Amino acid sequence: MDVDVVVAGAGPVGLMLACELRLGGVSVLVLEREAEPGAVHKTGAMGARSINAPTADAFHRRGLLEEVRRAALMWFTPGAPDSDASDLDASDLDAPDSGAAGPLPFAGHFAGLPVRVDRLDPGDPDLAAHTLGGGAISVLDLEAILERRARALGAEIRRGCPLTGFDAGDDGVTVATPAGRVRAGWLAGCDGGRSTVRRLAAMAFPGTDPEFTGRQAMVEMTEPNLLPLSGWVRTGRGSYAHGPVPGRLHIVEYGPPPADRNAPVTAEEIAGCLRRVAGIDPGVVSVSAGTRYTDATRQAVTYRAGRVLLAGDAAHIHSPAGGQGLNLGVGDAMNLGWKLAATVRGWAPEGLLDTYTEERRPVGAWVQGWSDAQTALGRPDARTAALRAVVADLLDTVPGATYAMKQISGVGRLRGRVAPDLVLDDGSLLAGRCRTARFLLVTRDPRLAARADGFAGRLTVLPGPDMLVRPDGYVAWAGEPPADPFTPWLGRRGLGG
Ligand SMILES: Cc1cc2nc3c(=O)[nH]c(=O)nc-3n(C[C@H](O)[C@H](O)[C@H](O)COP(=O)(O)OP(=O)(O)OC[C@H]3O[C@@H](n4cnc5c(N)ncnc54)[C@H](O)[C@@H]3O)c2cc1C
């Protein structure tokens, strides 16, 4: 073998997975198609991505949160008086309908309808537990942080080197690139929504076709005053926004997608789209950067085919409205990283790797439902407008806003729970002990601690209330230890390590 795992794609998910695999002690080669960071859809305001609570939590556990916060375009900390999310306009996908929010701070939105901070239930235990908050960051900045981290941990990253093919067998995968072949134990496809890995592995990707096309562009106009900088405007064909900076357009058009989705976005296309959606012709003369997306919603039936795995957009695509895709992918990487590393190192319990699909596919399906509901609520017809008014009223209540915020921030739909950031008996914080990505046995019982002998290298014993925490931060068990507290999660004693 040249390397234990080849990761195809150095987007946020591939880079996060590379970090997790290195923490798990396996060698990693990341192949990235682009020679330089900064594909068009990742630059400027088009590259703003929201970070929800589980992602903030994952970064916190790995000691990355402060760096992410420093680089963030904005950060919302629940309960902090000087913190509100109203400048989320930076990513305008996440801006509520124009005028609807008024001067009040909003914590998030559902299909453009604001969820107001002052409607959240301060006594809700799930919201109250997540003190780290969330925010928005340029995906380029996030990738730079993760790339530095992956390299520091010893991952090799080859840019300008796409995966062009592979041959997977029972004992490994031979990966083809323009620079030659690489022999690896495993292949992880983190190569985005149009994944080559998924296509070549013939992994089924069923779902629904798009209802709308979103176009984002920086344009030059001869009559920009015809389009005031006023946030989102809904029309009979979709919606549009001009801003936050002059010349920055975002148009959502319901109807069939353009015939050629790979063609560059032109001034003619943006002008035509504006005429149809807004009925306005501000004289678009040029496009300096333009990109499209749709609400096509698809999910791989399984995230694993033998020695080939999928994570991030390669495994699931959906409308970006609501800002969940990157967060979903980071969750995939956290879940897959330690399981694949344990498998490579030979200590994984039977079936561990298959729990990756079992645990992550339902989360992906839930997110797709949440985003599909927003697509439906964005339809530009009169009955949907009536439905929006009803949903807006519900979101203006304490239970409605609290429910929506729990889903938006990712704290209300955990299958399994991440361990709370307890103060341990030695005064340290539990999250601070997660950086090595080992299991944590928290106990005050010396006999239980003694039973953990033989798992050296995979498990750290810490003083506090009884629980076993997985490397991805999820609680394996808590309270009374089960009859066999270790082997279902850590495999047999003495193996690998
Ligand atoms: C307009 C917009 C706004 C969004 N806003 C949010 C948001 O606010 N919050 C959120 O959570 N999500 C958001 N998303 C979704 C988010 O951007 C994606 O879910 C996320 O980028 C997926 O990361 P990834 O690493 O799986 O894929 P990508 O970011 O697509 O990265 C895949 C990488 O693989 C590389 N690659 C492709 N093919 C190959 C190959 N054959 N060999 C090697 N490398 C290859 C690509 O060059 C790329 O670098 C938004 C998306 C869009 C379009």
| Confidence tier at 80 by pLDDT (50, 70, 90) | low
| Confidence tier at 413 by pLDDT (50, 70, 90) | low
Q: How far is the CA of 80 from the centre of ligand 1 (A)?
A: 31
Q: How far is the CA of 117 from the centre of ligand 1 (A)?
A: 30
| Long-range pairs, 121-128, Cβ under 8 A, ≥24 | 121/398, 121/399, 121/401, 121/402, 122/79, 124/402, 124/406, 126/406, 126/411, 126/412, 127/78, 127/402, 127/405, 127/406, 127/409, 127/411, 128/78
Q: How far is the CA of 98 from the centre of ligand 1 (A)?
A: 28
Q: How far is the CA of 192 from the centre of ligand 1 (A)?
A: 5
Query: For ligand 1, atom 17, which residue shows the shortest CA distance?
Result: 326
Whether residue 98 has pLDDT greater than 70? no
Ligand 1 atom nearest the C-alpha of 55 is 11
Query: For ligand 1, atom 2, which residue shows the shortest CA distance?
Result: 320
Mean pLDDT, residues 433-438 taken together: 94
CA distance 438 to 425: 19
Whole-number pLDDT of residue 276: 96
CA distance 30 to 15: 8
Whole-number pLDDT of residue 88: 40
Q: Which two tokens stand for residue 373?
A: 């509901």
CA distance 160 to 33: 5
Query: For ligand 1, atom 52, which residue shows the shortest CA distance?
Result: 320
| Confidence tier at 43 by pLDDT (50, 70, 90) | low
CB 482: neighbour CB atoms within 10 A? Answer: 11
- Between 377 and 130, name the one with better pLDDT: 377
Query: For ligand 1, atom 50, which residue shows the shortest CA distance?
Result: 320
Ligand 1 atom nearest the C-alpha of 214 is 1
Whole-number pLDDT of residue 44: 65
Whether residue 290 has pLDDT greater than 50? yes
What whole-number percentage of the chain has pLDDT above 70?
Answer: 91
| Confidence tier at 45 by pLDDT (50, 70, 90) | low
Whether residue 93 has pLDDT greater than 90? no
CA distance 404 to 414: 14
Please work out whether the CB of residue 88 comes within 6 Å of at least one atom of ligand 1: no
In the chain the domains, ranked by start, together with CATH numbers, are 3-203+299-409 (3.50.50.60), 212-294 (3.30.70.2450), 431-490 (3.40.30.120)
Mean pLDDT, residues 473-482 taken together: 94
| Confidence tier at 76 by pLDDT (50, 70, 90) | confident
**CB 221, CB 206: distance < 8 Å:** no
Whole-number pLDDT of residue 103: 41
- Between 427 and 83, name the one with better pLDDT: 427
Please work out whether the CB of residue 197 comes within 6 Å of at least one atom of ligand 1: no
Whether residue 189 has pLDDT greater than 50? yes
| Confidence tier at 495 by pLDDT (50, 70, 90) | low
| Confidence tier at 99 by pLDDT (50, 70, 90) | very low
Whether residue 91 has pLDDT greater than 90? no
Q: Which two tokens stand for residue 10?
A: 């150095």
Kindly report whether the peptide bond that precedes residue 244 is cis, defined as omega within 30 degrees of 0: yes
Whole-number pLDDT of residue 94: 40
Rounded to the nearest 10 degrees, what angle do helices 12-23 and 325-345 cross at? 30
Instruction: Report the relative pairing of strands 297-299 and 238-242 from DSSP bridges.
Output: unpaired
Q: How far is the CA of 425 from the centre of ligand 1 (A)?
A: 41
| Confidence tier at 102 by pLDDT (50, 70, 90) | very low
SS3 351: coil
pLDDT tens digits for range 135-147: 899 999 999 999 9
- Between 100 and 127, name the one with better pLDDT: 127
Mean pLDDT, residues 440-467 taken together: 93
Please work out whether the CB of residue 12 comes within 6 Å of at least one atom of ligand 1: yes
Please work out whether the CB of residue 185 comes within 6 Å of at least one atom of ligand 1: no
Residue to substitute in 68, 265, 295, 326 for testing ligand 1 pocket (most ligand atoms within 8 angstroms of CB): 326
Whole-number pLDDT of residue 230: 77
Query: For ligand 1, atom 30, which residue shows the shortest CA distance?
Result: 192
Please work out whether the CB of residue 162 comes within 6 Å of at least one atom of ligand 1: yes
Range scoring the smallest mean pLDDT among 33-37, 151-155, 261-265, 412-416? 412-416
Give one DSSP letter per residue of 203-265, joined into a string.
----EE--SEEEEEEEEEES-GGGS-S-SBEE-SSEEEEE-SSTTEEEEEEESPPPS-TTSPP
Please work out whether the CB of residue 50 comes within 6 Å of at least one atom of ligand 1: yes
Q: How far is the CA of 254 from the centre of ligand 1 (A)?
A: 23
Whether residue 217 has pLDDT greater than 60? yes
| Confidence tier at 440 by pLDDT (50, 70, 90) | very high
- Between 97 and 380, name the one with better pLDDT: 380
- Between 107 and 47, name the one with better pLDDT: 47
**How many residues appear in the chain?**
497
Ligand 1 atom nearest the C-alpha of 324 is 11
Ligand 1 atom nearest the C-alpha of 190 is 26
Whether residue 394 has pLDDT greater than 80? yes
Ligand 1 atom nearest the C-alpha of 14 is 25
CB 118: neighbour CB atoms within 10 A? Answer: 11
Whole-number pLDDT of residue 296: 96
Whole-number pLDDT of residue 104: 45
Query: For ligand 1, atom 26, which residue shows the shortest CA distance?
Result: 312
Whole-number pLDDT of residue 90: 32
Q: How far is the CA of 259 from the centre of ligand 1 (A)?
A: 22
Whether residue 82 has pLDDT greater than 90? no
- Give how far the C-alpha of residue 408 lies from the chain's centroid of Cα atoms, to the nearest Å: 12
pLDDT tens digits for range 321-337: 888 999 999 999 999 99
What whole-number percentage of the chain has pLDDT above 90?
Answer: 75
CA distance 83 to 173: 49
Please work out whether the CB of residue 57 comes within 6 Å of at least one atom of ligand 1: no
Q: Which two tokens stand for residue 317?
A: 């695509």
